[in-house]
Amino acid sequence: MKKRILKGLSVLLGTAVACETYYEPAYGVPEPDYGTSYMQFRYDLQGTVTDAGTGDPIPDAKVVFEGSSDTTKADGSWSIEAWLGDPCGDDCQVVAQDVDGDDNGSYQDSTADIDPQAADTGDADFVQHDIAIEMEPN
């Protein structure tokens, strides 16, 4: 009888431990709701950030899209790959922020609307590589 009880408990405990699910979310990817379908859309976005008055590139600006970000290079270029649970629709925007203070001039935050097109090739679901963001000096 004692062996039966121990065996029954070990089966129950073993099942409880084996059925325990540990979820380690990836950056920016929310935990899925079980019982519902879950799909991710990949966005491949690239562009430049320039001074609105001079047209000169702005290095070291932070560009943000839906929680993903990049810092502009010396030529003002940036590139973001983002994964979203839903297409962003008509309100897709990229935000450029001056995060280095007066190191290369002081600028106001600026936004640019994007219109990512469905990708014909490659792995991305949506692609746009010509996003120009102009920042006004303070």
Contacts of 132 (CB under 8 A, 6+ apart): 47, 48, 50, 112
Q: How far apart are CA 15 and CA 3, in angstroms?
A: 18
Q: Are 84 and 128 in contact (CB under 8 A)?
A: no
pTM given for the model: 0.69
Fold of 41-135: Immunoglobulin-like (2.60.40)
Average pLDDT rounded to a whole number, residues 118-137: 81
Interval 40-63: pLDDT, tens? 888 899 999 999 999 999 999 999
Whether 72 and 63 have beta carbons less than 8 Å apart is answered as: yes
| All structural domains of the chain with their residue ranges | 41-135
How do residues 100-120 score in pLDDT, each as one tens digit? 988 888 999 999 988 766 655
CB 95 within 8 A of CB 109: yes
